[in-house]
Amino acid sequence: MASWNSLPLEISYQIFGWIAFFSWSISFYPQAILNFRRKSVVGLNFDFLVLNLTKHSSYLIYNASLFFSPVIQRQYHEKYGYKEMIPVAANDVAFSAHAVLLTAITLFQVIIYDRGNQKVSKTCMAITSAVWISAAVCVFVALPNQSWLWLISVFNTIQVIMTTIKYIPQAIMNFGRKSTEGWSIGNILLDLLGGLMNYAQMAMQSIDQGSWVNFYGNIGKTLLSLVSVFFDLLFMFQHYVLYPSKNDIASPKVDLENTAPLLKSSDPSPAENA
């Protein structure tokens, strides 16, 4: 079983990991607080929330399974070598569990607060349904040979796909409204810090072990940070450069005619929002 060679690198690994945890976890609160203060979720894309819940649920399944299951850990070592460390840390599990909870709370705010004419698009619902049906099929495929590492890798792939597409509806909504009002920039800044610290944590383990299996052995975690950082920079550009004039207005009175999601369904109604 692999162990740390350098105490300073091990300490750095833990520090970077928990900074990522707190940054990513706290990043959920600015949006929830903004919704509470405005008593409105107008400007927040509902497709983003639904896709985000699917993403974090899948990531929780992957992280918790690999972190807690000796069987899956054995299968990981058989594939990548017994000298390799498990690429999931306690902070990864804690973050995933917290993310599922806070995303669910934000979805509850969608139910109780003013949402204008926004709603989840049919395209988003179709994507979400297809993902979970596919995951269920994979469970039955994995059962005969107990291919549990392969199965949780499927969930890891799901979270990467959801991470890639979940930001698109919000980015398009901001573009269509020519405003980021109702979308918390605090969430983005903390998310960016978490993504960078996530890479730093993985780098500490790779340097200590003299191996980069840590990155491709958990490709989902690697791509999670890469995609998140890309979209964080995009949202910062929208907020600070493209549409800076309305950013700090707390009023829920916004142009509802341009809040259609980027994920449009076949329904021609302009009220189909995500």
The answer to the question of residue 224 being in a domain is: yes
Number of domains present in the structure of the chain: 1
Residue 261 lies in a domain: no
Positions of the chain with pLDDT under 70: 1-2, 214, 216-217, 245-274
The whole-angstrom separation of Cα 197 and Cα 19 is 7
* Pick from 125, 108, 217: nearest CA to 169: 125
Q: Are 240 and 89 in contact (CB under 8 A)?
A: no
Is residue 143 one of the residues assigned to a domain?
Answer: yes
Structural contact between residues 25 and 95, judged by C-beta atoms closer than 8 angstroms: yes
pLDDT in tens, 91-130: 889 999 999 999 999 999 999 999 888 889 999 999 999 9
Instruction: Write out pLDDT tens, residues 231-248.
Output: 999 999 999 998 886 544
d(CA 253, CA 175): 17
Residue 185's nearest CA partner among 115, 228, 230, 237 is 237
Residue 190 belongs to domain spanning: 7-245
Name the burial class of residue 200, with classes exposed (0-12), middle (13-18) and buried (19+) by CB atoms within 10 angstroms of its CB: middle
The percent of residues in the chain predicted with pLDDT above 90, rounded, is 43
Within-domain flag for 265: no
Residue 214 lies in a domain: yes
Q: Does residue 268 fall inside a structural domain?
A: no
- 11 falls within a domain: yes
Six-digit token pair at 148? 């549990």
In a domain, 251, yes or no: no
pTM of the model: 0.75
